[in-house]
Homo-oligomer: A and B are copies of this chain.
Amino acid sequence: MFDRVGIIGLGLIGGSIGLALHKTKAARQVVGYDMRTGVGEQACAMQAIDVACTTLADVLQGTELVILATPVGAMHTLLKGMGSLIEPGTVVTDVASTKAQVITWAEELLPASVFFVGGHPMTGKEVSGVEVADATLFMKCLYCLTPVHNTQPIALNKVITLIEVLGAYVHYIDPVEHDKQVANVSHLPFLASVAMMTTAAEDATWSDAALLAASGFRDMSRLAGGSPEMYRDICMTNSPALVTMLDAYIATLEQIRTQVRLQDKNILNTFKEAQQLRLQWQNTRNFTEGEQNP
């Protein structure tokens, strides 16, 4: 299906793509590159890749599809370095959590003879690193693709094939709209989780309260365990959309605070509406998953 696929950045996502490519035998050869010492070897040992390249030039040479799976913060430097090394006709895609900024960088830094298609798989774990990579990570998840006016169909098709190999569903979306939507349903939840973990631990009750914390606390603090570097990069590249969501969240919390302070029994309606919304979302999700299931 593919001849030679290159993965740059061998963490949870990069490693999982490699494992899935091997499992499905979808590529003649999978090569990988990671700046961090020993990670390429580790990925090789796990059979996430066939060859651990030691330079950027090596991973790009003769490679038809290059997948950028580094943190967003590393991508500017990476794309800059690739600009003079990459062969004409190569298709490049990324898996970053924010899209507008990355697409701008790619347009700026890659030669016109190279085809870039932005992507973002809607999956992940709260732990990171190639050691937790998983060939089934993408199964039945939505995989955002953000083609723009000058995206070549041949490049798009190659990335669509990759998504199918991973077992995910293609979801077309405008990059700016993507960034607003993930600020809402992905990045705000992370920040809300971080703030909750921090607030809980700063309270005088924490040393004892930590013992009482049960499954509710566990779920609400889970995202706070996510990669600090990845989320820093997300905040740096999606700042305006995130500020909008944070403002809305704080305003909602202020309303709830007023109802709690006044012991206003109408808070029941606030809770009923939220319960209803949550139920509707669950139903939509099931419906959507069913519909998309081939």
Interface stretch among A9-17, A78-86, A260-268?
A260-268
For A132, the chain B residues whose CB sits under 8 A away are none
Residues of B within 8 A of A63 (CB): none
- Known pairs A228-B271, A232-B267, A250-B257; A186 contacts B214 (CB<8 A): yes
* Interface residues in A257-294 (C-beta closer than 8 Å to B): 257, 259-261, 263, 265, 267-268, 270-275, 277-279, 281-282, 284-285, 288
Cα A246 to Cα B258 with chains together (Å): 10
Of the candidates B188, B263, B275, the one whose C-beta lies within 8 Å of that of A199 is B188
Residues of B within 8 A of A173 (CB): 208
Interface size on A, residues (CB 8 A): 92
Given contacts A185-B216, A199-B249, A213-B281, 14 further A-B contacts (CB under 8 A): A123-B214, A184-B203, A192-B253, A195-B249, A195-B253, A198-B277, A201-B281, A202-B252, A228-B275, A231-B271, A243-B261, A246-B257, A249-B253, A250-B257
Q: Is A217 an interface residue (CB 8 A)?
A: yes
Q: Does A222 contact B (CB under 8 A)?
A: yes
